[in-house]
Amino acid sequence: MAWDFETDPEFQAKLDWANTFVREEVEPLDLVFPHQQFVPLDGARRKIIDPLKAEVRKQGLWATHLGPDLGGQGFGQLKLALLNEILGRSSWAPIVFGCQAPDTGNAEIIAHFGTDEQKERYLRPLLEGEVFSSYSMTEPQAGADPAQFTTRAVRDGDDWVINGWKFFSSNAKTASFLIVMVVTDPDVSAYKGMSMFLVPTDTPGVEIVRNVGLYGEPMNGGSHALIHYNDVRVPNSALLGGAGQAFAIAQTRLGGGRIHHAMRTIGLAQKAIDMMCERALSRETAGSKLSDKQFVQGYIADSYAQLVQFRLFVLYTAWEIDKYNDYKKVRKDIATAKIVMPTVLHDIAWRAMQVHGALGTTNEMPFFTMIHGAGVMGLADGPTEVHKGTVAKQVLRDYEPTDDVWPTEWIPRKQEAARAKFAEYLEHEVGNL
């Protein structure tokens, strides 16, 4: 019977190496080069980061999300989950290991749906870790409901001409190309009338109007672009996966992306627990250590319980993806992990902040960044509420309504049936009561 929670010793040795490497070599990058992960390398950054990437390649841990045919290791999602837990501690770690979002998802769909020419032009440099990409789907007036997207591509001879607005395209300002999801046939449902195009960022008419900043980023110096596509002309060969295929492609992309975020979130939440425990054991007040106070013990126990449940569920979901090799079959569980993730990170980071007192609320500790990260996780790749709807619908599929006024589990009727079933034996007992 195969039901096993052990990591094979060979891979565990790699994880141990990654753990030390991330803590000692990569986490310091977060402090000297904050918000610069997606800026193409030059100068001092290249001198520092290229050798680190070379170390990762030497260990066989580069781009582990992809199969060997695409330059990765083909480890599968379960091993990737164990590695991503470690990488989640640091913003730079996914870059140094060649598996950063949103490039992983973008690479995945080009690998699945791209032509040989598209793979050569876009996928290969992406996998080399030399360029960045951006996914341009959300619009200013509509995010969670793609049926409301209006940005259009119209056929003109051998070309397509794109017009409209896109919002929150991550890293567009430093990306070398965009994957843009647009309406190509407004006369059919959005699920059949939208297509994806590969558009080099320097194509005439691609205008970044504003770089919206997340918490901690400067105003108009942020990482999420508001883009105006103004008569952007691309050849038919820029179409990814055929006209009308955007929804099918998006599901492939977002399935992987969501679970990868969940894997990294485990690492971040564990980091918050580590900090909370160290502080609890170190700080003394009102005659005892914080770790002796029952409220603080409650914080620690609740955090451990939340994280261990989440972690096991994410690992299980990763295992399912490897087993079925079909995101559709695992959709319910990926969405469930997506729902749970913001709450787990929020709750644990909040408790860790509280245990640190005033210091916890400052920009000298990372807790607010984590709490903000939890908020982001509730929106990026779709709002929690939408995913709850998905999960509920999938759960309900396994049930049938009853046309009886009393529920199936109504005790009086079941009791009567049980008595009838055992009547022959009960008659005597009842008679004796």
Ligand X SMILES: Cc1cc2nc3c(=O)[nH]c(=O)nc-3n(C[C@H](O)[C@H](O)[C@H](O)COP(=O)(O)OP(=O)(O)OC[C@H]3O[C@@H](n4cnc5c(N)ncnc54)[C@H](O)[C@@H]3O)c2cc1C
Which of 89/253 has CB closer to ligand X? Answer: 253
Per DSSP, 147 falls in state: G
Of the residues 52, 63, 70, 137, which one makes contact with ligand X according to CB under 6 A: 137
Q: x-or-dash pattern for ligand X, window 162-181, by CB under 6 A?
A: ------xxx-----------
For ligand X, which residue has the nearest CB?
143
Residue closer to ligand X (CB basis): 138 or 291: 138
**Interaction between residue 213 and ligand X (CB under 6 A):** no
Q: Residues 331-350: x/- map of binding to ligand X (CB under 6 A)?
A: --------------------
Which residue in 243, 383, 390, 426 binds ligand X (CB under 6 A)?
383
Residues 385-414, one symbol each (x = binds ligand X by CB under 6 A, - = not), give xx--x-------------------------
Residue 143 is a binding residue for ligand X (CB under 6 A): yes
CA 146 vs. chain centroid, Å, equals 19
What is the rounded (10 degree) CA torsion for 400, 404, 406, 407? Answer: -10
Q: Distance between CA atoms of 152 and 146, rounded to whole angstroms?
A: 13
Q: What separation in angstroms does the CA of 88 have from each of 57, 82, 241, 309?
A: 19, 10, 32, 17
Sole binder of ligand X in the list 111, 183, 340, 380 (CB under 6 A): 380
What the block records as the tokens of 108 is 């995945």
> What's the rounded Cα separation, in Å, for the pair 332 and 352?
31
And the tokens for 270? 């564990």
Cβ distance to ligand X smaller for residue 258 or 279: 258
In whole angstroms, give the CA distance from residue 120 to residue 9.
37
Rounded to whole angstroms, the Cα distance separating 355 from 273 reads 11
Query: Of 85, 100, 109, which Cα lies nearest the Cα of 262?
Result: 85
For ligand X, give the closer residue by CB, 28 or 389: 389
Which residue, 175 or 290, is less far from ligand X as judged by CB? 175
Taking the C-alpha atoms of residue 371 and residue 379, their distance in angstroms, rounded to an integer, is 13
Nearest CB to ligand X, comparing residues 138 and 336 = 138
Report the alpha-carbon distance of residue 224 to residue 226 in Å, rounded.
7
Separation between Cα atoms, residue 183 and residue 165, nearest integer Å: 12
**Which among 402, 367, 377 has a CA at the least distance from the CA of 259?**
377
For ligand X, which stretch binds (CB under 6 A), given 135-143, 242-250, 307-315, 362-370?
A: 135-143
> Nearer Cβ to ligand X, position 346 or 356?
346
| 102 is an interface residue for ligand X by CB under 6 A | yes
Q: Does 197 bind ligand X (CB under 6 A)?
A: no
**Contacts with ligand X, residue ranges (CB under 6 A):** 102, 135-138, 143-144, 168-170, 214, 224, 376, 379-380, 382-383, 385-386, 389
